[in-house]
Chain A
Amino acid sequence: MALLEVKDLQVFYGVIQALKGISFEVSQGEIVTLIGANGAGKTTTMQTVIGLIQPKAGSIIYNEKDITKMPSHKIVASGISQVPEGRRIFQELSVYDNLMLGAYLQKDQKKIKDDIENVFDQFPILGERRTQIAGTLSGGEQQMLAMSRALMAHPTLLMMDEPSMGLSPLLVSQVFDIIKDMNSKGITILLVEQNAEKALKIADRAYVLETGAITASGTGAELASSPEIRKAYLGG
């Protein structure tokens, strides 16, 4: 039984159909990646799963529960977190407040405190800047904060939307190391990436999304070696 099962999902923006009935699944413990060009519908897919966009048709089953029509705060409470595209940290709030918001649905105050200390151990720069306004952090630091914020919720499934966007090559590698590390700690990951090369390398399975429809799927290695995929997404 898959942890997340998306069936025939259709989403419209007005009269424009952004998702034309896509189906995919993510099993417990996997890293699954959705690759595709800009405008293919990757971000729409993630936002629909977490309840920010209502689909016109189709279903989203998570942990054997239908979450298609659930409000987003209940979806988050059931164990799905998201690192959104463009990070969307709260620029006007402090690093500490951002992390506290990540733990918004956590009840155990002591555990929240420990979690924050763990974040500061892992990313000392965030600890040094805990009272600083998050908007003043560098792009890389903001990405670390966005990932840490999502982890504060102790997600079962973490959806990451373009986590490497706008980062230097060194930081991109670091981000992918962190993703692997989170996965090895038991977090299931759904990854949307423009950096198809690196995404396919760490992914157990992958789907290719083209203008709102899934056109290919397979293991990361299979897709990475397919000539069409290489041509379209991996620069030959």
Chain B
Amino acid sequence: MAVAINGLSLGAIYALIALGYTMVYGIAKMLNFAHGDVIMVGAYIIYTMCMFTWNIGSMPIWLSSLISFVVAMAVCTCLGIVIEKVAYKPLRGASPLAALITAIGVSYLLQGIAQLIWGADQRTISILDRLGTVNLGSYVIKWSAIITVVVGAIIMVCLVMFIKKTRTGRAMLAVSEDKGAAQMMGVNVNAIVSITFAIGSGLATFASMFYLPITSVSPTLGAMPGIKAFAAAVIGGIGSIPGAMLGGVLLGVVEVVCNSISAVASYTTAIEFALLIIILLVRPIGLLGKKRRIKV
């Protein structure tokens, strides 16, 4: 039971990050390898803001934490938009390799800046894990894990509704399928790309918040969840939103289950990536990936 909740909780974190990869890939047709580092920036902003606001006497901790989170989200959303405008937009139309290298460059740039500002020391902060644990029957479960699963599920449902039911969501799907045709409908592609980066970075901030109880804050915090969530997006079928969710949850559950069995615990990461390789061998487009139609 605890393993199931923890697995789903880690899975929800991976899914939130994977959504950022897959949406940006769907719209801008590029792999944003700096996405993991946005999570790191989010974590640092939450950390710094909490350190600052918790000392303001009369404010309850839940409120100051919430304010810290909202500030982090605002910063990360702007960061996502700025990264796209400054680093990726000028390369639109260039070779995919150029955009990929640039993304890796942005990733190291963000890590370098974080190290300059906050130093290389690992820091820990306890926000969601202050809530402690709850006993369900004979099981002891962390509140932070439950919140991650519940809030993660709500966010994903909202995201799917937004994409399926709103005018902007429809335009995102249209741009993802045929950019030129979407432009002929009057869709402003630049605006849609910015919105996509904004949403991806906003989701990443939730991942920062949910990831804090199980990690310490350092400039390379984003690297591992970033690469695993990218694997999750590929497992699910890059470009597919339900695929990113499925891939994220699958990978999270596999990781926690493997970690809970002492015989295989030390091979967990190897098993996860082996899973990626096997799925790609059997189904190269990922679990829920769509075969691109062949244009005549």
On A, residues with C-beta under 8 Å from B are: 47, 50-52, 71-73, 76-77, 81-82, 84, 86, 88-93, 97, 100-102, 104-105, 135, 149, 153
A82 contact set on B, CB distance < 8 A: 184
Closest chain B residue, CB of each to CB of A149: B185
Interface CB pairs A-B, < 8 A, 5: A50-B183, A72-B183, A77-B186, A86-B295, A88-B180
Interface residues in B222-259 by Cβ distance below 8 A to A read none
The interface bits of chain B over 167-187 (1 if a CB of A lies within 8 angstroms of the residue's CB, else 0) are 100110110011011111111
Q: Do A76 and B186 touch (CB < 8 A)? A: yes
Interface residues on chain B, number (Cβ under 8 Å): 21
Q: Do A81 and B177 touch (CB < 8 A)? A: no
Query: How near does chain B come to A40, taking the closest CB pair, in angstroms?
Result: 20
Q: Do B186 and A153 touch (CB < 8 A)? A: yes
Interface residues in B181-199 by Cβ distance below 8 A to A read 181-189
A102 contact set on B, CB distance < 8 A: 185
Closest chain B residue, CB of each to CB of A82: B184
Interface: B123 (CB within 8 A): no
| Complex Cα–Cα for A153 and B184 (A) | 10
Interface: B283 (CB within 8 A): no
Q: Do A135 and B293 touch (CB < 8 A)? A: yes
A86 contact set on B, CB distance < 8 A: 295-296
Q: Do B170 and A100 touch (CB < 8 A)? A: yes
Closest chain A residue, CB of each to CB of B168: A104
| Complex Cα–Cα for A101 and B171 (A) | 7
Query: How near does chain B come to A165, taking the closest CB pair, in angstroms?
Result: 10
Interface: B130 (CB within 8 A): no
Q: Do A90 and B183 touch (CB < 8 A)? A: no
Q: Do A71 and B188 touch (CB < 8 A)? A: yes
B189 contact set on A, CB distance < 8 A: 73
Q: Do A104 and B173 touch (CB < 8 A)? A: no
Q: Do B183 and A73 touch (CB < 8 A)? A: yes
B177 contact set on A, CB distance < 8 A: 90-93
Q: Do B174 and A90 touch (CB < 8 A)? A: yes
A88 contact set on B, CB distance < 8 A: 178, 180-181, 184
| Complex Cα–Cα for A105 and B171 (A) | 11
Identify A81's interface contact among B170, B171, B178, B184, CB under 8 A: B184
Identify A104's interface contact among B180, B187, B290, B296, CB under 8 A: B187
| Complex Cα–Cα for A72 and B185 (A) | 9
| Complex Cα–Cα for A101 and B169 (A) | 11
Q: Do A101 and B174 touch (CB < 8 A)? A: yes
Q: Do B173 and A92 touch (CB < 8 A)? A: yes
Query: How near does chain B come to A7, taking the closest CB pair, in angstroms?
Result: 23
| Complex Cα–Cα for A72 and B181 (A) | 11
| Complex Cα–Cα for A81 and B185 (A) | 8
| Complex Cα–Cα for A206 and B267 (A) | 72
Interface residues in B268-296 by Cβ distance below 8 A to A read 290, 293, 295-296
Closest chain B residue, CB of each to CB of A83: B184
Closest chain B residue, CB of each to CB of A103: B185
| Complex Cα–Cα for A88 and B171 (A) | 15
Query: How near does chain B come to A167, taking the closest CB pair, in angstroms?
Result: 14
| Complex Cα–Cα for A153 and B183 (A) | 13
Q: Do A51 and B185 touch (CB < 8 A)? A: no
Q: Do B174 and A84 touch (CB < 8 A)? A: no
Closest chain A residue, CB of each to CB of B183: A72
| Complex Cα–Cα for A47 and B171 (A) | 20
A77 contact set on B, CB distance < 8 A: 186
Q: Most chain-A CB neighbours within 10 Å: which of B181, B185, B293?
A: B185
* Given A73-B187, A90-B174, A93-B170: A101 in contact with B182 (beta carbons within 8 A): yes
| Complex Cα–Cα for A235 and B241 (A) | 51
Query: How near does chain A come to B94, taking the closest CB pair, in angstroms?
Result: 14
| Complex Cα–Cα for A105 and B189 (A) | 13
Closest chain B residue, CB of each to CB of A97: B170
Query: How near does chain A come to B174, taking the closest CB pair, in angstroms?
Result: 5
B181 contact set on A, CB distance < 8 A: 84, 88-90
